[in-house]
Chains A and B, each alone.
Chain A
Amino acid sequence: MKKELEAIQAEVLQALKQINTQDQLESLRIEYFGRKGKLTDVMKGMGKLSKEERPIIGKLANEIRSSLSDAFEAAKTALDSKQQGQQLKAESVDITLPGRKPTLGKAHPVMQILQRIEEIFMQMGFQVVTGPEVETEHYNFDALNTPPDHPARDLHDTFYLTDGHLLRTHNSPVQIRAMENQQPPIRIIVPGKAYRVDYDVSHTPMFHQVEGLLVDRHVTFSELKGVLVSFARQMFGDQTQMRFRPHFFPFTEPSAEVDISCTVCQGKGCRSCGHTGWIEILGAGAVDPEVFRAVNYDPEEVTGFAFGMGVERIANLQFRIPDIRTFYENDLRFLNQF
């Protein structure tokens, strides 16, 4: 009987190797383990054994039965996983087909730069304020120490409206409005559109400016330098050098034009910077006492500084668009690039 059991064990193990489907496995199971199965039959013969043999053979039979049962289980698992594998294979996709990207829009390149500028100054405690684009001579010029016969007015080709108003030529009028509406300390930036009669590859009649103003009891020129250097390092990179050149604006004294080291050649000199290594990015200066007087501040009590920059110019340091009028054509092939 022992031999029979061992023969069955060998037979089953051999047969399991040939099994390919769950159905075959089930038939095999019935063949040996079913009610009339071969192993069942052998087990049924146990009764005929002697008292001495019975426990020994019984133990052997249980061992064989258990090990075969494990073998069946293993075969079933193997078949399951093979089957799942086939099923998954049938679900294969061409992974080189395009992904279904959500269609996202893009902010206008000038707005992307403007937003970055705003963020940098906001980190330094500047607040964003805005003001009207249709202005009066008073706010655009007179209150900014630029009386009607001042030669500086030549530098601003102004659009006038038929009703005598004008389109602001810079965002500086908002400085005046802000100072009229609040007392120092003032720390604001003014983003927005300004207008000048100018239309060529480097000028659009409407452009964006960010104007800044800081007024307090004791604000120094060195602090103006500090704020602008911090701005430039964040905007153009840690290595950016800055140069302050004396200049003239009616509403600041002392006044400066501010250059950064050329973003193309890092200051070595190239075509982009006219071989000087420097690129002008903004105008700045200490608020002129006359401007304080125009808003009834006492220039002996407060000092301040102001600065203004053209956003298109700064954007174009990065984008290098040969004709900046392209910004306002809204050609989707252009807008999609940024």
Chain B
Amino acid sequence: MNEEQIERYSRNIILKGVGGKGQKRLLQSKVLIIGAGGLGAPVALYLAAAGVGTIGLVDGDAVDLSNLQRQVIHFTADVGIPKVDSAKDKINRLNPDVEVKIHKERVWASNIREIIRDYDFIVDGTDNFPAKFLINDACVLYGKPYSHAGILKFNGQTITVLPGKSACYRCLFIAPPPAGAVPSCSEAGVLGGMAGVIGTIQAVEVLKYLLGLGDLLTDRLLVFEALPMRFREVKVKRNPACPVCGENPTIISLVDYEQKACDLKK
């Protein structure tokens, strides 16, 4: 590390358990963020600020005016440009040490293996169930540690998954809800700060994992309810009947689930 880096990361380096060695490890780490939206924004900014050396961003969408209420990495002038370009620009301006790799596409069963291959840790910041189940299955099948999260209205939840060692998303939520059950976008809504609370927890989990510190949020679903302002921990365990990581898995290759058409501009 040069002198500027020692100064920039001084508050990391003085932490017991991090030090120069930990900081170097962060600078050598590669983290993939799938979804450069509400959850992905705080994850990307905090990982960039902390000096995670390589950050991959996957998103096929462009910034929409209605995104700005919660996707704090995008600004008004970014409306209309690809989210990965907008996010890369902010990361570079925050910390030029970070190499940003962009994937201007959605994840599918056909491309996810190649996209996640080179990364140490994967962050699910997507907004839909087909992607969430695909990310879980890919991370389990290819042994990538990852952080799952979801937010809705005034609530959010997150869990860290170490494939083969801790409960995966499917151990809790066996299969996606039927497409017809998912309410239309205009009915949903989410308080912007929920993305900040939950995404920031995801970022902290990534840093703990990379640094080998503390106890990860494994086998515990952390549920956050903003209205009563309460965090609750639901203990979970690996489900022997889990279709992807259980004793007799039925999912041995990746599948694309049908996604309900959703026009965000409505």
Judge: A and B partners, yes or no.
no
